[in-house]
């Protein structure tokens, strides 16, 4: 079986989305009131809105939306919460 992880993340899509869309994003205290599943849904929604707001309808948008379907949103949310807690400590 081949290794599917990428730079310590679940896969390339997860690593790339975290790097490109959320690397400098800081979780707000109001977002921390969400559990990790709700925060992961929130991040996914943010990414979808970003794609829709910055692209026109067509093949490129569909590829971008298909790409983020492979993202492990829960992993990103977990890391963001951990980073937030580390900064506050």
**pTM (two decimals):** 0.87
pLDDT number for residue 87: 72
Domain membership flag for residue 20: yes
Domain membership flag for residue 58: yes
In total, how many domains does the chain have?
A: 1
Domain membership flag for residue 5: no
pLDDT number for residue 89: 62
Would you say 27 and 39 are in contact if contact means Cβ atoms under 8 Å apart?
Answer: yes
Which range of residues forms the domain containing residue 25? 12-88
Residues in the chain predicted with pLDDT less than 50, given as ranges, are 1
pLDDT number for residue 6: 95
Domain membership flag for residue 74: yes
pLDDT number for residue 88: 67
Domain membership flag for residue 4: no
pLDDT number for residue 1: 47
Domain membership flag for residue 3: no
pLDDT number for residue 3: 65
């Amino acid at each position: 079986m081949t290794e599917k992880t990428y730079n310590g993340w679940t896969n390339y899509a997860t690593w790339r989305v975290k790097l490109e869309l959320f690397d400098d994003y800081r979780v707000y205290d109001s977002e921390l009131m969400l559990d990790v599943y709700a925060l992961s849904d929130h991040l996914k929604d943010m990414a979808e809105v970003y794609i829709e707001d910055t692209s026109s309808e067509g093949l490129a948008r569909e590829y971008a939306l298909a790409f983020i379907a492979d993202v492990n949103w829960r992993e990103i949310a977990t890391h963001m919460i951990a980073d937030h807690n580390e900064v506050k400590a």
